[in-house]
Amino acid sequence: MSDWSWLEVSAEEAALRLLGCELVRELDGHQLRARIVETEAYDQDDPASHTHHGRSARNDAMFMAAGHAYVYLIHGIHHCMNVVCGFEGHGSGVLIRAVEPITGLDVMQQRRGRGGFELTNGPGKLCKAMDITLPMRGHDLDEPPLTLVRRDPVKREDVVMSTRIGISKNVDAVRRFYLRGNPWVSKPWVRET
């Protein structure tokens, strides 16, 4: 059983800490592994967060203990995944916005019907490529078929901070983090700080 205390921090700190960590997906006898290169922080004090108006059937997983997955649909078709952080009972999580494939690239390309940097450079894209879907809502990321592997923190000078993408509330909050110069990042041109 993993020690998730490293994620029992604010959403911003967890978003920074998750950069460089890996998602591992066991799928039909294949191992898909990808490095997290872009994240966004959300919590119940943030008007842009799904947890801002309290706990519900949809967002219940975000109130779980750190180290669980919160998977949801946007526009009724695209899955997105947050890694739950902070402490149980406080709705807090980190959206995984983009990953860099390490292994299983051929399977990811087959699932997405395309390759190149657009394979996993967005939250819906990476979930499609790695088959992360609603049944994984509330999944313990210490258990197969989807696990989170902790890696050494990246250097702060290698991280760009910016405003988030695709939200209509709290739009000026600097809660997006990505690896400087990484080609798998979704939109590096968003206003940086």
Please spell the DSSP secondary structure of 51-78, one letter per residue. TTT---TTTGGGGS-TTBEEEEEETTTE
pLDDT score at 190: 54
pLDDT score at 2: 75
What CATH architecture is 4-179? Roll (3.10)
Distance CA 67, CA 93 (A): 10
Contact 130, 25 (CB under 8 A): yes
Task: Read off the pTM.
Answer: 0.95
Distance CA 46, CA 187 (A): 22
pLDDT mean for each 10 residues of the chain (193 residues): 90 98 97 98 92 91 97 91 97 98 97 94 97 97 98 96 90 93 83 48
Residue in 158, 156, 108 with CA at minimum distance from that of residue 128: 108
pLDDT score at 164: 86
Helices 123-130, 105-112: crossing angle, 10 deg rounding: 110
Contact 165, 190 (CB under 8 A): yes
pLDDT score at 101: 98
pLDDT score at 54: 87
Number of CB atoms found within 10 A of residue 96's CB: 28
Contact 162, 193 (CB under 8 A): yes
Residue 127's Cβ-count burial label (10 Å; 0-12, 13-18, 19+) is buried
Residue in 134, 144, 122 with CA at minimum distance from that of residue 23: 144
pLDDT score at 193: 46
